[in-house]
Amino acid sequence: MITIGYQKLGQSLSDCQVEGWCETIIHDINDPCCPNKLYRFSTENIFHRLRAKISLGLIPHDKILFMFLDDDHNTHLIKPDKYGRLDFWPEGFCDFNERSLQMLFCVGDAWNKPKSKKEKRQKKSEKIKTVPLKEELL
């Protein structure tokens, strides 16, 4: 079983490095001399790519396990199904991009909130302007 750990002190991968690491992991999964191995990563891109490869049938789902060490030092073992879906998704596991987008949307709304009663009245009276899409974008 190959275990892929997601933790703060794991190796960080650029998007350009992910495919090479996937090939290394696939090689180790198929190597009978390498029955158990642990990789540690701190970026979520490798996890999503491995899950995609599972869904395409390039990695047997029963030969790989994801591991997560949370902030309370609890270890979570997460098994993918044959489609790459996970049986459990603990908070903090591969959710950096999702949390960033949530912050972006919340901050955007917070910046646009009127501060005074006068600004509130002005906001209510403002109309939303729409821009027609060009036909080639439809």
Residue 12 lies in a domain: yes
Into how many domains does the chain fold?
1
* pTM for this model (two decimals): 0.71
Residue 111 lies in a domain: no
What does the alpha-carbon distance between residue 12 and residue 8 come to, in Å, rounded to a whole number?
9
Residue 3's pLDDT band (cuts 50, 70, 90): very high
Model confidence pLDDT, tens digit, residues 20-72: 999 999 999 999 887 799 999 999 999 999 999 999 999 999 999 999 988 88
Are 53 and 80 in contact by the 8 Å Cβ rule? The answer is no
Provide the domain limits for residue 16.
2-97
Residue 126 lies in a domain: no
pLDDT of residue 42: 92
> For residue 40, with 0-12 CB atoms within 10 Å meaning exposed, 13-18 middle and 19 or more buried, which class applies?
middle
Residue 132 lies in a domain: no
